[in-house]
Amino acid sequence: MLLPLLFWLSSRRDLLLLLRLPLPFFLSFPLGIRFSPRGRRATTTTCYNKSMPTDPTPDESTIRIARAHSNRSIARRNLLGVADSLVENFVAVIGDGTFVPTRAAYLKLFKQGFDAPKISLTYERIPDRIDVSSDSSQASEQGHWIATSFNGSTAYTGTYAAMWQQTPDGWKLRSELYVTLAAPKH
């Protein structure tokens, strides 16, 4: 009875961290994470013998939620949802090195894909790291991305970097840079 519960909890570690819930003590030891004496923040020891927080800040959590919303919008082919995450002066460099100079041009690429579901790809961006500036006006996100075809097979993979801006409407994407690292062999 206890073993399935431990397995279930260990498979939900990322969810617990995303929701800022403390990890049970038995999930912390194999990963080098320990809890502070007050039990409020998990810490991890670095090679410099300093403790670094592993709990996401409120801004980081908000950015992760905005990224998840953007991913869901792409999966559901919701152009307004994709547009909602972008500032007006958004720019991007997509995986093949093409510069996309405007928000409208970026959204046009998504619309073309959404209009041809049998040949378009679905993109998911998975944040690996988010750093928020000291004044909380902008943030940097680094991660990896996966493009899947309509049949669910992986078409492309790579890494990305994104710049977020704090706006009156919340955190919005200012720019993105995608690098394709794995593509189908021709």
State the CATH number of the domain containing residue 168. 3.10.450.50
What is the DSSP track for 58-92?
HHHHHHHHHHHHHHHHHHTT-HHHHHHTEEEEEEE
Choose the final residue of a domain: 34, 53, 72. 53
Q: Are residues 81 and 154 in the same domain?
A: yes
For residue 46, give its domain range. Answer: 2-53
Q: Is 118 helix (H, G, I), strand (E, B) or coil?
A: coil
pTM of this structure: 0.70
What confidence score (pLDDT) does residue 139 get?
Answer: 98
Q: Are residues 32 and 101 in the same domain?
A: no
What confidence score (pLDDT) does residue 87 get?
Answer: 98
- CA-atom Rg of the chain in angstroms: 19
Confidence bin at 186 (pLDDT 50/70/90): low
Question: What is the percent of the chain with per-residue pLDDT over 90, rounded to a whole number?
Answer: 64
CA distance 17 to 33: 12
Q: Are residues 71 and 154 in the same domain?
A: yes
- Which of 30-34, 53-57, 130-134 holds the top average pLDDT? 130-134
Confidence bin at 120 (pLDDT 50/70/90): confident
Q: Are residues 65 and 46 in the same domain?
A: no
Q: Are residues 67 and 24 in the same domain?
A: no
Count the domains in the chain: 2
